[in-house]
Chains A and B, each alone.
Chain A
Amino acid sequence: MPGVDNPQRAHVNYILNCQGCHGPEGSGSADGDVPRMKDFLGNFLNVEGGREFLIRVPGVASAPLSDTAIAELLNWTLHTQSPDQIPEDFLPYNESDVIQWRRKTLGDVAHERERLIVRMR
Chain B
Amino acid sequence: MKESKNLFDRISEQVSRGLAQNTSRRGLFGLLGAGIVGMSSIPLLPVARAAGTGQPQASDLQESGDDQSCDYWRYCSIDGFLCTCCGGSVNTCPPGTEMSPITWIGTCKNPEDGKSYIVSYNDCCGKSGCGNCLCNTNEGDRPMYVPAKSNDINWCLGTQSSVYHCSTAIVVGMAFE
Contact = CB atoms under 8 A, between A and B. Distances in A.
Given A29-B158, A32-B157, A20 B173 contact: no
Nearest to B157: A32
Contacts of B101: 23, 29, 32
A31 B159 CA distance: 7
Contact of B172 (A8, A13, A24): A24
Interface residues of B, number: 20
Sorted nearest first, the 5 A-B pairs with minimum C-beta distance are: A32-B158, A29-B158, A12-B176, A31-B158, A32-B157
Classify the interface of chain A: helix, strand, loop or mixed.
Answer: helix
Contacts, number: 52
Given A20-B104, A20-B105, A12 B158 contact: no
Contact of B173 (A15, A18, A31, A59): A15
A98 B118 CA distance: 26
Contacts of A18: 148
Interface of B: 101-105, 107, 118, 120, 146-148, 157-160, 172-176
**Counting chain A CB atoms within 10 Å of each CB, which of B101, B107, B157, B173 scores highest?**
B101
A9 B158 contact: no
**Counting chain B CB atoms within 10 Å of each CB, which of A12, A18, A30, A59 scores highest?**
A12
A19 interface: yes
A118 interface: no
Contacts of B103: 20
Given A9-B176, A12-B173, A32-B157, 12 more contacts: A11-B173, A12-B118, A17-B148, A19-B105, A20-B105, A20-B120, A24-B172, A29-B102, A29-B157, A31-B158, A32-B158, A64-B146
A34 B172 contact: no
A106 interface: no
